[in-house]
Structure 1
Amino acid sequence: MTSLITVAGRLRPRWRDYGRPRELVVRYLLLLFVLGISVGPLVWQFLASLKGTNEDVFGRNASLLPHHPTLRAYRQVFDQVPVATYITNSMIVVVLSIASQLLFSTTAGYMLSKPGWKGRKAVWVLLIASMMFPFESIMVSLFLSVRDLGLVDHLAGVWLPGFVGAINVLLMRGAFLAVPRELEDSAMIDGAGEWQRFRYLYLPSAYGAVSVVAINTFISAWDDFLWPLIVLRSDSHFTLTLGLSRLQSSSFGYDQRMVMAGSVISVVPVLVLFVITQRWFYRGVSAGAVKL
């Protein structure tokens, strides 16, 4: 009996295992502060979208919680705006972006991880240098290129800047560098060709980084607003973020609750995707960033 009590005492968590009580309180207060900054605005938008017409969203008399929750704002959004068309257009851009990013970032990252060919370091330096320029600095020249290709007011013109990203190529390069050289030598001895080694050895070892590329591409393509605003003209071609921005115009009466409801609708797919894939996302970030 005494031995069982001793073992139970050893297994019981103690305050000193987590630090001093004061340090633990400070740690949790900081976590709550960061949580409030990151999640607080989204929660506030959701609660504001549930308010009725008689409740204030802003001002002195506004309250955080709705007194009489209602889905009226969401019904109005779906009635006045072709949300299904906007979602379809956004999904087309997202699917094209993910497909091209996965195809070219994995192949380019694989080639950059292979030693022995001239110009490899120069390409790597150029990719690093391209990340130093913000999108706004090349926006005009990019639009002129899209216009010359006849892709203005087409979803292909929205997808073109998301064709492949330098950060994704470097992320895949880091993931492929983590694959032991001995495994590739064993595969070559067994007669595996270049494509077979890439398909059956390197890609399965970098599934975490592949998931990171897919998730990042989905989020950036889904949330993009500035570039679709420049390229698209027709309402039938609008993406979801661009189409829902029309709720702020005077033609819809600028109902603040509808604007909040539209923001929540646009964020829900991203949240669902991240909740489902967060395990692979964190694993891929830690695996691919080691030798980035």
Structure 2
Amino acid sequence: MTETMTLVAPSSARRPRAAGGSGPVARRIRRGILYAILLAAAAAMLTPFFWMLMSSLKNANEVFSVPVRWLPEVFVWENYVEIWERSDILTWIRNTLVLSVAVTALQVLTGSFAAYGFSRIRFPGRNALFLLYVATIAVPWQSYMIPQFIMLTNAGVANTLWSIIFLQTFGAFGVFLMKQFYETVPEELSEAGRLDGLSEYGIWWRIMVPLSVPAIASLSLLTFVNTWNDYLGPLIYLRDPSLWTLQLGLQNFVSSLYDVDYGVLFAGLVISVLPIAVIFLLGQRFFVEGIATSGMKG
């Protein structure tokens, strides 16, 4: 009879010790360093906006004082009253809002519709046509700006808001973004819609569009911000002061005064940034979700 001896190793011998730097203390240190770096980066990005906000509450002599005064000695709230009285800022805001809403709505409509065709309709040369269309994103606008201006002038829409709307109604980036999202939607949903008697237009409108709310929100936010902040397009096409946008109006507000009150000017800049900040904060969740899901293929 053979006796079997079993050696029971101590628990400390059975569990390998944690490698150096991988314990809970080291993880907390690394996390703390990461948070410190993120906070420093966020502070660096927000510092210009804080300086702009504080400058809008200073008098003209304090704005560019040396050394820099981050906080005004006296808060000059009258700057926000003067920008409304000394400029036509209400007209500028109205024109900018009209252009931003119109361009955003049209880009979402045309982008989602074209993206459905590229993602669901089978036709010869589809992939080549899509790559050719998306490749136009890499072409700088300055390279075809003059021919485009001549075409719109001959069409009789120069010096009207329609010129900016026609320029930005179609965008390759919107088609690319929406197509990437549509490819994550199962093909079975489209087949079920066809069995129920829906046309391709009905499938796009009643199935694909409701499912693509995050992507539509992302595209809407990006398009609205780009149109709101656009300066070069209005500078080229909008010569009538009654058609100026907010960015163009503020630039001419500086050029039209010999002695610029920069406190009043910064008040106008704060007013121009405020709508964008509010819209981005309200749509941040949809924006992140839309960008994340548009990069996935199911």
- CA offsets, 1:125-176, max 9 Å, x none? 1122101111222222221122111222111112222111101001111111
- Structure 2 unaligned spans of 5+: 1-21
TM-score (norm 1): 0.89
Q: Percent identity?
A: 30
Note if 1:288 corresponds to 2:294.
Answer: yes
Partner of 2:163: 157
Larger radius of gyration: 2
Partner of 1:279: 285
SS at match of 2:197: coil
Among 119, 138, 142, the residue aligned to 1:132: 138
Question: Is the Cα–Cα contact under 8 Å of residues 18 and 24 in structure 1 kept in the other structure?
Answer: no
- How far is the alpha carbon of 1:250 from its aligned partner? 4.8
Q: Do the aligned partners of residues 136 and 30 (structure 1) sit closer, same or farther apart at CA in structure 2, a change above 3 Å counting? A: farther
Partner of 1:45: 52
- How far is the alpha carbon of 1:246 from its aligned partner? 2.0
Rounded Cα–Cα distance in structure 1 between residues aligned with 2:48 and 2:30: 28
**Any residues of structure 2 matched to 1:57-96 within 5 Å, and which?**
57-96=63-102
Count of matched residue positions in the alignment of Structure 1 and Structure 2: 277
- CA offsets, 1:205-240, max 9 Å, x none? 111111111111110111000110111111111011
Rounded Cα–Cα distance in structure 2 between residues aligned with 1:204 and 1:123: 27
Among 14, 31, 35, the residue aligned to 1:24: 31
Q: Do the aligned partners of residues 92 and 17 (structure 1) sit closer, same or farther apart at CA in structure 2, a change above 3 Å counting? A: farther
> In structure 2, what residue type is equivalent to 1:209?
A
Q: Do the aligned partners of residues 199 and 186 (structure 1) sit closer, same or farther apart at CA in structure 2, a change above 3 Å counting? A: same
- How far is the alpha carbon of 1:252 from its aligned partner? 5.9
Rounded Cα–Cα distance in structure 2 between residues aligned with 1:170 and 1:101: 12
SS at match of 1:131: helix
Q: Do the aligned partners of residues 202 and 16 (structure 1) sit closer, same or farther apart at CA in structure 2, a change above 3 Å counting? A: farther
- Structure 1 unaligned spans of 5+: 1-14
- CA offsets, 1:97-131, max 9 Å, x none? 01211111011000000152112112211122101
Dislocated runs of 4+, deviation >3 Å:
15-19
Note if 1:194 corresponds to 2:195.
Answer: no
Note if 1:35 corresponds to 2:42.
Answer: yes
Q: Do the aligned partners of residues 198 and 262 (structure 1) sit closer, same or farther apart at CA in structure 2, a change above 3 Å counting? A: same
Rounded Cα–Cα distance in structure 2 between residues aligned with 1:31 and 1:247: 37
Q: Do the aligned partners of residues 32 and 155 (structure 1) sit closer, same or farther apart at CA in structure 2, a change above 3 Å counting? A: same
Note if 1:166 corresponds to 2:169.
Answer: no
Question: Is the Cα–Cα contact under 8 Å of residues 181 and 294 in structure 2 kept in the other structure?
Answer: yes
> In structure 2, what residue type is equivalent to 1:25?
G
- How far is the alpha carbon of 1:25 from its aligned partner? 2.9
Question: Is the Cα–Cα contact under 8 Å of residues 247 and 258 in structure 1 kept in the other structure?
Answer: no
Rounded Cα–Cα distance in structure 2 between residues aligned with 1:17 and 1:179: 41
Among 197, 212, 219, the residue aligned to 2:218: 212
Superposition CA RMSD, Å = 2.0
- How far is the alpha carbon of 1:16 from its aligned partner? 6.3
Among 231, 240, 243, the residue aligned to 2:246: 240
